[in-house]
Chain A
């Protein structure tokens, strides 16, 4: 997610701090057996020299190269840093290993990315980055946001599915769905506290995964590791069915089997269906609190 949603006020770590942090993380892998997959999650872009200095980048990649257990490396980047130069460097330093670039596509709708997410690149930028990476046999993992603000529940559902299809058509190797969670000091939090935003229903996430899996080729992995699932700030349902459904989402991410999704028939399902319909026509945000004043008292 971008600064608009996160208000990323965190301080930029220095080159040494980054390397130290990386070394600490790697030390946790001591004793683990290969093959391993390593994901470098940075708050923005690993390939942005302002964010990760070139010296730090080189030394981190060199360490990965020297570890024979590591088979796959996932690196996060914004599309504008996916250049031939950077791809050549990655290929050179990581050799034959499988490389995936995690890029926050968020939505394939320029309108939604601009208005609801406030990200400054177009779908066309994403496509070009993807083709540059593919030329170096580097895959793209598209991060797709489930329910940015200013969308109805059904807008969010349909947009996520459409984004996954568009991303697959462009040639991504993995689609990773990120249901929005309400983080501190963000616009989303302000809206959420006023009842103007509700994180996506778990039913929505399930439906997004099911419809995406049905329409995407098997070669594209679909994964989702929801943050704060079942909590008020994360994707959630009624509270009764949340644990089972969250577990089914995680299981699906491993097996890619649609039959692993869901498996619970909860009484909150008709409410969710009603909300899909009623939010579209009324544009009223169906937050948890005001929908049910009885339970509040």
Chain B
């Protein structure tokens, strides 16, 4: 089989193209048995099911122990084959799972002449230990296998979680199948987790139980006097003939059920193209508690896998509606980057802690304009000594300099002022970590109320600086509070005897963004003391060193783009590098095949430095995939080049 992964990512979800017997099938796609003709891609058990006419098909070798050479020989030489195994059992433990993989290896070794490994799909039992997976998969890779099937039992419980965790360990360029009992509401989740082919045999299984499936649940047709309205073709033609439940035939139910899967798949694919698949997955958590539970487990246990393929930029508004968003990869990554990469300018003597605003970026909002006025008039010409930290859920803390960074500039949350315990704890933790980066002598001015204040109080015991609260029970935007803030800052300005001086806002924004984007130290490397800065805060800012431009800050995306000169300044940090196999880049792209090695820290959409064999900078550009994919893929565009050495 030929499986190509194409451009674009939304988390681990990917788009691909599967060539089966010279017919192209775009993935992700659905698969079902010969008895469900509505589904184009078909599996059939050799020697047992009728051979399907469709070219888009995968042969199944029946259970281990019934395999003989004649059976294997009977399969067309250009057909892909699911390897034989046994129905898995949790009762027999991990050794049994290992034995099942060894059996599949020996099928490949014993029938190599009739069954090329490149056509084989290995079945991974849910009870396989992760370490056994890691040691056995290379054995299959060596033979040329690059496809694996995982079992989903549909309960979205611990067994399914095992299969999802094992899927996350698959090499990037392998095809991944989800077989078993997949209910419609699990389709977005499985697409999100990078499954390329999803079994919907359940469409028929449910129909024969007289169950009509729906995106968020199901309906027992036999047990209900009044059926739900459905506009699908199958149901419309049933209603036009007769509209009693007992006239709703099995074939109508199968067609309807398949339609529900098809529509959820297309919704998932479209959402993934728009970068909103995670939002769709979060929405589906309301279909069942099991669904909500497994997404939490996925976020907790597979964070590394999700984050690795999650783009570092995004278009449009990012809705973060409920607790299922608190640990979504973009949100958690932002918190972790701010905690580990942001370094406050050393001269700060005050930190003003502010609440977030519904409108983004914050400084465009009414409330933040009021805060800015109060701070400006309170501090006056000592303004440069005040840092601003915006408390928000679920991002934690956003330093003012990073308010345009992704996702701080685009996230959207329901704002009520009431926070739940998890939100308070997340923001409290972020505050404690953030404030610990400032000198102990710095004064924290907490201009916060409600949930924001609770978060501040939660962090209080871990804050070493003195804290002044300025709201006194009123809302942060009330006249009294704003006046309190102004007065407090005025007093502090005297007490701390802040001297007048210029405010280096452009430099602060550039350095903070550089650190956020490329890691600690990047700000100082890229924007040294003697650099010349031009532009507007949060607009476009250009940085020149010795007359040569090094980078530009683009307010619309809140990110830096590098010039070749800037790339040379960043290169010694040994981060975000892609080692090109050659000494000269042709054209506007670097393809994965030409990547010799790459920083595994690279995420899709990152600004990356292309280097040659001797670490010499050859170009800069934007990554189209994660660093690991650049190394593992043999095809596809790895980097879109912006500047290159001619």
Which residues does A use to contact B, with CB under 8 Å?
A: 109, 111-112, 115, 149-152, 154-155, 158-159, 187, 190-191, 194-197, 268, 270-271, 273-275, 277-286, 290-295
Residue from A112, A154, A293, A295 having most chain B Cβ neighbours under 10 A: A293
Residue of A nearest to B34 (CB): A277
Closest chain-A Cβ to B183's Cβ sits at a distance in Å of 9
Q: Does B355 contact A (CB under 8 A)?
A: no
B87 in complex: contacting residue of A271, A284, A295, CB < 8 Å: A284
Closest chain-A Cβ to B167's Cβ sits at a distance in Å of 16
| Chain B residues, Cβ within 8 Å of A112 | 65
A283 in contact with B86 (CB, 8 Å): yes
Residue of A nearest to B123 (CB): A283
Closest chain-A Cβ to B239's Cβ sits at a distance in Å of 22
Residue from B43, B85, B153, B223 having most chain A Cβ neighbours under 10 A: B153
Across the A-B interface, give the 3 residue pairs with the lowest CB-CB distance, nearest first. Answer: A111-B65, A271-B208, A294-B220
A290 in contact with B153 (CB, 8 Å): yes
Residue of B nearest to A195 (CB): B153
Residue of B nearest to A188 (CB): B91
Choose the segment among B105-113, B197-205, B301-309, B414-422 that binds chain A (4+ C-beta atoms closer than 8 Å). B197-205
Cα(A270)–Cα(B35), bound, Å: 11
A280 in complex: contacting residue of B45, B199, B211, CB < 8 Å: B45
| Chain B residues, Cβ within 8 Å of A111 | 64-65
A151 in contact with B205 (CB, 8 Å): no
Given contacts A150-B86, A274-B204, A281-B33, 18 further A-B contacts (CB under 8 A): A111-B65, A115-B65, A151-B87, A154-B62, A155-B63, A158-B48, A191-B91, A196-B87, A268-B208, A280-B60, A281-B60, A284-B151, A284-B152, A284-B153, A290-B155, A292-B209, A294-B209, A295-B220
Cβ proximity bits B160-186 to A, threshold 8 Å, 1 near / 0 not = 000000000000000000011100000
| Chain B residues, Cβ within 8 Å of A195 | 153
Q: Does B89 contact A (CB under 8 A)?
A: yes
Residue of A nearest to B85 (CB): A283
| Chain A residues, Cβ within 8 Å of B135 | none
Closest chain-B Cβ to A258's Cβ sits at a distance in Å of 22
Closest chain-B Cβ to A292's Cβ sits at a distance in Å of 5
Cα(A109)–Cα(B34), bound, Å: 28
Residue from A115, A196, A278, A293 having most chain B Cβ neighbours under 10 A: A278
A279 in contact with B87 (CB, 8 Å): yes
Residues of B198-233 whose CB lies within 8 A of A = 199, 201, 204-205, 208-209, 211, 218-220, 223
Cα(A158)–Cα(B91), bound, Å: 25
Residue of A nearest to B62 (CB): A280
Residue of A nearest to B154 (CB): A290
Cβ proximity bits B10-48 to A, threshold 8 Å, 1 near / 0 not = 000000000000000000000001110000000111001
Cα(A145)–Cα(B234), bound, Å: 43
Q: Does B90 contact A (CB under 8 A)?
A: yes
Q: Does B74 contact A (CB under 8 A)?
A: no
Closest chain-A Cβ to B294's Cβ sits at a distance in Å of 15
B205 in contact with A271 (CB, 8 Å): yes
B86 in contact with A281 (CB, 8 Å): no
A282 in contact with B208 (CB, 8 Å): no
Given contacts A109-B66, A155-B62, A196-B90, whether A292 and B211 have CB atoms under 8 Å apart is yes
Cα(A197)–Cα(B89), bound, Å: 9
B66 in complex: contacting residue of A158, A268, A273, A294, CB < 8 Å: A158
Given contacts A151-B63, A278-B201, whether A191 and B153 have CB atoms under 8 Å apart is no
B223 in contact with A196 (CB, 8 Å): no
| Chain A residues, Cβ within 8 Å of B48 | 154, 158, 280
B208 in contact with A283 (CB, 8 Å): no
Closest chain-A Cβ to B88's Cβ sits at a distance in Å of 7
Closest chain-B Cβ to A289's Cβ sits at a distance in Å of 10
Q: Does B250 contact A (CB under 8 A)?
A: yes
| Chain A residues, Cβ within 8 Å of B218 | 293-294
Closest chain-A Cβ to B223's Cβ sits at a distance in Å of 7
A274 in contact with B179 (CB, 8 Å): no
B88 in contact with A283 (CB, 8 Å): yes
Residues of B106-147 whose CB lies within 8 A of A = 123
Q: Does B82 contact A (CB under 8 A)?
A: yes
Q: Does B336 contact A (CB under 8 A)?
A: no
A274 in contact with B205 (CB, 8 Å): yes
